[in-house]
Chain A
């Protein structure tokens, strides 16, 4: 039986998507159609109580978008849960059917305190564009959620109508996202983490210089220690990498991010997808990390 409709796209949605992509270099129609399918999936998870803000929250790129980050992921979706979910229950919860779109969760795989559904297949009947029948992935990490969720309007940031009604989604608290991103940067060193750290630092400044608040400093530091401990518990290799992060090393990795912050630029690879605007200026990103993050964590 079909579910309550989530989508409310207009007849000329394909033209709207094409027009939108023409003004955004590097963004393809296929990515936008897939992104719409992912948005429907998330709204459905909120509607059926899976993404409830109590046990499970949205994190990763989609949560960052709800905080107005221009960066977008193109395939993976991330959620985080306080407890280990039942994959079969999740499979049913992810699947959704309405007139304009069908979403069907496929195989799942267990990782380190992580369940990933890949593929989540969809048939976007509203579109004739490439990517109208494709797939994405959805991960549920159960490494814990420490802070209460923040409910935010699902900010899809498309200039055309998409959803039948405005929806709020529970996202991981931005301070906790910041702690996760800092730890991920220290441990894994991906450009997206460094860029997200800078974005969240700028948000702190805009939000009344929260970075100067001693309580915020303590909160972020405590969250970082919790996240490091979670990583330590994953396995021996990860524990070794966590233990190698002495305070000077943590400082060094933020203060001297080296050349892999723009890892592919010299080869002509953009590396990160941006739904709105262009990639932030590297000097500005460095400045935010050095003037906001370093004092926040080390002063």
Chain B
């Protein structure tokens, strides 16, 4: 969209910048916006119509870079933060985090997130932020904390967003593989993370336990395949109940059948062959 600014638009944006606001929220900014227009909602809508603001939805408007003409000119992550943070816990994870951490050389035009809040619009897959469709998983678990690998990424003094760190991202792939790309993509990312020492096996065990015994078993198996089985056994074994039903290695893979190998130690049913996993893990360019 071509961008045009009235003198008032420029004043609004300058004031927002002084207030260190990268995203204007109608509910929070109405008071000072009334100094410019008696109906702040109309003001922001008109500014968005001129390309002077980027409409994020739910009464939120991002400020684009002056002189530019589209959301593409701005980092989209702070807009994601502006859209999701007011609703509750969230973080950028899964495939999007694999991409940001350069654990894959692939890219997708959508954004993958974990959220704790209910949002029918978000879960329907119809929500977009800055032109990027959102794909989300929801959990009630309290797993959005920094000690469980969720980090604040600061892009500037005013712009930030939440993202899983490399180890948490990899463990999350075992939890919600449907958001993590092709199996070969995230399994290769585990191999790359280990080779480049960006995967912390101890932390992986801690994160996995917070996500439940199924993820812990899959994590134990992955660490075993990567030569970090000792750490996995020391950290996970006593805390993963042996009587649990044997989970599938790939939550989104083929359904269980009698012919599938059962890993005798981690009691994970191999609905992907061990050889294939080893191949993907060992890919080192």
Contact = CB atoms under 8 A, between A and B. Distances in A.
B74 A130 contact: yes
B45 to A, nearest CB: 24
B285 A187 contact: no
B228 to A, nearest CB: 14
Chain B interface, DSSP helix/strand/loop, else mixed: loop
B281 to A, nearest CB: 9
Interface string B47-78: 00000000000000000010110101111100
Interface in B165-207: 178, 181-185, 188, 195-196
A188 to B, nearest CB: 4
A139 B182 contact: no
A137 B102 contact: yes
Chain A interface, DSSP helix/strand/loop, else mixed: mixed
B139 interface: no
A128 B182 contact: no
A130 B70 CA distance: 11
A112 B192 CA distance: 12
Given A74-B107, A137-B102, A29 B183 contact: no
B108 A111 contact: no
A180 to B, nearest CB: 11
A272 interface: yes
B109 interface: yes
Nearest to A74: B107
Given A18-B70, A188-B282, A260 B102 contact: no
A31 B285 contact: no
A209 interface: no
Interface in A170-205: 184, 187-191
Contacts of B109: 25-26, 28
Nearest to B104: A75
Interface stretch (B34-42, B256-264, B272-280): B272-280
Contact of A130 (B75, B106, B282, B285): B75
Interface residues of B, number: 34
Given A75-B102, A128-B65, A128-B68, A269 B279 contact: no
A188 B280 contact: yes
Interface residues of A, number: 41
Contacts of A28: 72, 107, 109
A73 interface: yes
B105 interface: yes
A114 interface: yes
A241 B278 contact: yes
Contacts of B95: 269
A273 interface: yes
B274 to A, nearest CB: 12
A250 B108 CA distance: 32
A232 interface: no
Contact of B178 (A118, A129, A189, A267): A267
B284 interface: yes
A237 B282 contact: yes
Contacts of B65: 128
B252 interface: yes
B61 to A, nearest CB: 18
Nearest to B278: A241
Interface of B: 65, 67-68, 70, 72-76, 95, 102, 105-109, 178, 181-185, 188, 195-196, 252, 276, 278-280, 282-285
Interface of A: 18, 25-26, 28-29, 31, 73-76, 78, 109, 111-112, 114, 116, 118, 128-130, 137, 139, 141, 184, 187-191, 237-238, 241, 260, 263-264, 267, 269-273
In the A-B complex, list the 8 residue pairs whose CB atoms are closest, starting with the nearest: A264-B182, A263-B182, A188-B283, A76-B105, A74-B107, A188-B279, A75-B105, A189-B279
